[in-house]
Amino acid sequence: MPAQPGRGRTAGGSGRRRRSAFTPPRTPRLREADGTARQSDPQNLHTADGERLQKVLARAGFGSRRACEALISTGRVSVDGAVVTEQGLRIDPARSAVHVDGRRIQLDDTLVTVALNKPRHVVSAMHDPQGRRDLTEFTAEYPQRLYHVGRLDYETEGLLLLTNDGDLAHRLTHPSFQIEKTYVCRFDAPGGPPRSLVRTLRDGVELEDGPARADRARVLAQDGREAVVEVTLHEGRNRIVRRMFASQGYDVTALVRTRIGPVLLGNLAPGSSRRLTERELGTLMAEVGL
């Protein structure tokens, strides 16, 4: 009896079935975060005309395709909440939520978030009616139209975020997502600041618009004439750091913001900017529920 089409042996007689060139890849096995297996839903996770997951990761800056395949095979990558451990998954970068080591990665390459070291005597605005220096001169190198997230006053320098991601910007400035910010303050302190100052800032001071409290405060330097104190707090009220020191009789002569959440100013020169790293952006997004 002649063999039925598709059921006979191959020309080499190995007995293996010939796989069609159009056979879709096996659906990757997925695991819950605790390691237990669960059945994936190909309709929700696999996009036939999407991009391979390892290619998406490589484009996002996680190394070569081979390195990204290793990330997948070791269970460090999840898609829409499910850990992927096998190769072959195709996703839609515009719709899939991808995490590496628990951190969300930004897959939309049209969205840009930038760290800027704002110099003194620059207005935190894209245009100033008084003709003072504004932020437009620092965004010219980016083709996207960027907007500042929050503000630094005219006299304050340091870390300022610029982005065209409206959702991220909204959450970073919303009162319900209070991101830690760190400032370094220089002020006149003949004889050095009293030991009680740092404790007072941590315990809280009374301002005209309500109490304000530092999460952390410490003296970095003092020479008998000036002192330098580092202050970390969640609040973002206007000129809050300067007003906290003023309430204790100290006039801040120099103020620099050095950190916003996981993003550090580091050695970024005044007037210079850089794109956030994937780790910084992923951690920042996680802190605001993205």
Same-domain status, 148 and 57: no
Asked if residue 131 lies in contact with residue 121, where contact means CB atoms within 8 angstroms, the answer is: no
At 131, which CATH number?
3.30.2350.10
- Tell me the two tokens of residue 232: 């970390």
At 83, which CATH number?
3.10.290.10
Q: Is 46 helix (H, G, I), strand (E, B) or coil?
A: coil
Same-domain status, 97 and 215: no
Same-domain status, 260 and 122: yes
Q: Digits of tens for pLDDT over the chain (290 positions)? A: 444 444 444 444 444 444 333 333 444 444 444 444 443 444 467 777 788 898 888 877 787 888 889 989 999 999 988 898 888 888 888 788 888 888 888 777 788 999 999 999 999 999 999 999 999 999 988 988 999 999 999 999 999 999 999 989 999 988 788 899 999 999 999 888 888 999 999 999 999 999 999 999 999 999 889 999 999 999 888 899 999 999 999 999 999 999 999 999 999 999 999 999 878 888 888 888 87
Tell me the Cα Rg of the chain: 27
Q: Is residue 211 part of a domain?
A: yes
Same-domain status, 67 and 144: no
- The whole-model pTM stands at 0.74
Q: Is residue 15 part of a domain?
A: no
Q: Is 31 helix (H, G, I), strand (E, B) or coil?
A: strand
Rounding to the nearest 10 degrees, give the CA dihedral for residues 174, 134, 257, 250. -100
Domain boundary among 49, 84, 103: 103
Q: Is 153 a catalytic residue?
A: yes
Same-domain status, 119 and 92: no
| Number of domains within the chain | 2
Q: Is residue 2 part of a domain?
A: no
Q: Which domain holds residue 98?
A: 30-103
Q: Which of 80, 128, 134, 153 is catalytic?
A: 153
- The position carrying tokens 């391979």 is 52
